């Protein structure tokens, strides 16, 4: 048994696991032994409870291997460490303390067969070491470049945050040096907008933006190639991005106090970025300090090539991490094929109440590039419980406060505009604002307003799609209707008094509304959880429409679980049960075609 066992903190499962592994190791042969307390201290940050050391023969020599288990074993996998190992980053998949990475993060194991788990992990570890000895897995350093680069960072290196468009074009870019991080962007304008939105401040006057460099080097560097000095960096750029060497030498010729360089390369899992900061050589000498860059020359007469060789000399460089904050990374980690179309899309949200505002946030999260938010109302305290905006926005116009919230949360978004006009006024005064959109989402919940919108849409030939969304009583059902230039208009599914022709729920006990202690103040007591299904329904149909402009007119319906409906006094309508095939259990989305109706007064008037 391991000699540092703490029985007072050892569960029965851990005790059984230790006994099983000890017995298996003894039958394995060789001379495995329990680790001493001193040996366990070599792994201070891993909560190691105990372990064993054994000798394993490899092609080059016999190496000591440690099997380590923590206090949650056997419900967590063992860790394997190489005691006799080469310097850090000589082999891939090995931490600084010698622990091997052979299982994915969060890997599940069978707690009832601890010896089998140890055998499997040990087998994988031996195979990894043999591959490393033979040099068969060096490409793993490139494919998982960021993992290894970020383990080689210079102490106290600045954190770089990137808005760069990651493409194979070496170029001069801009950097803002903040207290907590440096911001790298393709232009000063991009950086300013991002900072203004992130900090909700337009005070850019005190911010200084400097030239920086982005170099594309095709293949990620191996650890042995990571630049240690300015001369190393100059050689790497000369060999891998020769067009960029002139840019680098030109920038250091102006003798800035530091130069920020970002290297970009592609792996099979997408592009990666690495940051390097080169600081100017320090002045030295008693009395008047001497500038080592101009030594032997007048300050303004030093040849550029000499400045470059002195600036990019033997002095150490700072290796820094780069955290991407550009839109392509935020929305899909560069691997969502839908992103370019969504990024280029323009969507107007009419009605920024609890439904429309939540849909707007979902579309921004999905990567939609431009939003127009339209709502004439202000936020009240009563709205806060199921609205994305909190108490800090009470008294503010919903559209304006929501626009500020979205641009602050997603500073990379193209633009978010707000209008506090009614939809009817906007259609009468500036219809081009809506006509220029790729999609309109109407969540106004007013037949009067949506009827006018439908009239206008039909009168202009329905040149773009509109998604209409609404809830039924207590958010027990929700509807999302996509109206296109084919199929029914919105009026084809709505009666003359604004009532949908298909209702999902019925309420035998009468009205579904409650009264506040004020004249005419009514409400329905449901919360954001019930509403979330309907928000997702409307947002998903909106995304589908943007990605497939030729999609037919569609009606999607969310029906809540029957248990909830019954508990609040509702029932399914006969019409709904006929449409959905008697699926009375609820809790599903149903889709059908939104059909034209010969009785529709809007369509008949347009045809005449």
Both structure tokens of 543: 């995304």
Sequence-distant (6+) residues with CB within 8 A of 22 are: 1, 52
pLDDT given for residue 509 in this prediction: 78
pLDDT score of 5: 44
Which parts of the chain have pLDDT scores under 70?
Answer: 1-9, 202-205, 283-289, 296, 298-300, 510-525, 605-608
CB 450 within 8 A of CB 468: yes
* Residue from 579, 580, 584, 582 nearest 565 by CA: 584
The secondary structure of residue 494, as a DSSP letter, is: B
Q: How far is CA 12 from CA 9, 38, 72, 388, 537, in A?
A: 10, 25, 11, 48, 49
Q: How many helices (H) and strands (E) does the chain have?
A: 20, 24
HSE-up (13 A, CA, CB side) for residue 529: 1
Residue for token pair 């040996």 = 39
Nearest to 488 by CA among 468, 473, 507: 468
The two three-digit tokens of residue 446, written as one number: 């007013």
Phi-psi region of 587 (alpha: psi -120 to 50; beta: other; left: phi over 0): left
For residue 521, the model assigns a pLDDT of: 47
Report CA 82 to chain centroid distance, whole Å: 35
Model confidence over 59-111: pLDDT tens digits? 999 999 999 999 999 999 999 999 999 999 999 999 999 999 999 888 899 99
Q: Which DSSP state fits 254?
A: T
How many Å is the maximal CA-CA distance in the chain? 97
DSSP per-residue letters across 368-422: --EEEEE--PBP-GGGGGGSSS-GGGTTSBHHHHHHHHHHHH-TTSSEEEEE-S-
Are 156 and 320 in contact, with CB atoms under 8 Å apart? no
Query: How many other C-beta atoms lie within 10 A of the C-beta of residue 156?
Result: 7
> What is the token pair recorded at 551?
């999609």
Cα distance from N-terminal residue to C-terminal residue, the chain: 93
Q: How many CB atoms lie within 10 A of CB 443?
A: 27
Give the integer Cα–Cα distance in Å for 213 and 251: 9
| Confidence (pLDDT) at 7 | 43
């Amino acid at each position: 048994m391991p000699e540092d066992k703490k029985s007072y903190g050892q569960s029965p499962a851990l005790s059984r696991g230790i006994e099983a592994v000890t017995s298996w190791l003894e039958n394995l042969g060789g001379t495995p032994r329990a680790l001493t307390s001193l040996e366990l201290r070599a792994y201070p940050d891993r909560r190691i409870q105990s372990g064993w050391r054994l000798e394993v023969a490899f092609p080059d020599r016999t190496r000591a291997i440690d099997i380590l288990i923590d206090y949650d074993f056997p419900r967590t996998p063992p860790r394997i460490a190489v005691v006799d190992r080469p310097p850090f980053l000589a082999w891939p998949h090995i931490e600084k303390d010698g622990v091997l990475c052979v299982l994915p993060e969060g890997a599940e194991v069978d707690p009832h067969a601890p010896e089998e788990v140890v055998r499997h992990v040990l087998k994988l570890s031996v195979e990894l070491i043999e591959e490393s000895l033979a040099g068969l897995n060096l490409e793993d350093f490139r494919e998982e470049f960021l993992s290894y680069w970020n383990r080689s960072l210079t102490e106290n290196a600045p954190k770089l945050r990137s808005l760069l468009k990651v493409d194979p074009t070496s170029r001069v870019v801009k950097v803002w040096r903040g207290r907590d991080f440096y911001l790298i962007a393709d232009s000063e304008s991009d950086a300013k907008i991002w900072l203004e939105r992130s900090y909700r401040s337009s005070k850019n006057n005190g911010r200084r933006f400097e030239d920086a460099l982005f170099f594309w080097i095709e293949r990620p560097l191996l650890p042995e190639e990571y630049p240690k000095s300015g001369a190393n960096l100059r050689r790497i750029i000369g060999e891998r991005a020769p067009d960029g060497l002139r840019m680098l030498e030109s920038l250091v010729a102006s003798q800035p106090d530091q130069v920020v360089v970002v290297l970009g390369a592609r792996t099979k899992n997408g592009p990666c970025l690495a940051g390097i900061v080169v600081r100017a050589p320090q002045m030295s000498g008693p009395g008047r300090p001497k500038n080592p860059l101009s030594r032997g020359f007048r300050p303004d007469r030093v040849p550029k090539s000499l400045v470059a060789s002195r600036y990019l000399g033997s002095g150490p460089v700072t290796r820094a991490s780069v955290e991407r904050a550009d839109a392509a990374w935020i929305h899909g980690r560069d691997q969502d094929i839908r992103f370019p179309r969504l990024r280029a899309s323009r969507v107007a949200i009419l009605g920024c109440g609890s439904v429309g505002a939540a849909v707007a946030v979902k579309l921004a999260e999905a990567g939609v590039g431009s939003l127009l938010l339209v709502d004439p109302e202000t936020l009240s305290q009563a709205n806060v419980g199921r609205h994305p905006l909190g108490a800090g926005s009470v008294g503010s116009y919903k559209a304006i406060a929501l626009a500020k919230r979205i641009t602050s949360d997603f500073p990379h978004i193209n633009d978010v505009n707000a209008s506090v006009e009614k939809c009817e006024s906007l259609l009468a005064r500036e219809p081009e604002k809506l006509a220029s959109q790729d999609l309109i989402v109407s969540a106004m919940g007013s037949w009067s307003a949506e009827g006018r919108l439908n009239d206008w849409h039909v009168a202009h030939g329905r040149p773009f799609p509109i998604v209409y969304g609404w809830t039924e009583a207590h958010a027990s059902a929700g509807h999302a209707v996509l109206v296109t230039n084919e199929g029914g208009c919105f009026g084809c599914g709505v009666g003359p008094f604004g009532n949908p022709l298909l209702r999902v729920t019925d309420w035998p006990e009468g009205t579904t509304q409650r009264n506040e202690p004020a004249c005419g103040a009514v409400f329905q007591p449901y919360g954001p959880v019930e509403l979330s299904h309907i928000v997702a329904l409307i947002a998903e149909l909106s995304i589908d429409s943007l990605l497939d402009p030729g999609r037919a007119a569609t009606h999607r319906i969310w029906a809540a679980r029957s248990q909830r409906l019954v508990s609040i006094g509702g029932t399914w309508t006969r019409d709904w049960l006929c449409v959905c095939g008697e699926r009375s259990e609820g809790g599903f989305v149903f889709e059908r075609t939104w059909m034209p109706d010969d009785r529709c007064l809007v369509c008949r008037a347009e045809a005449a």
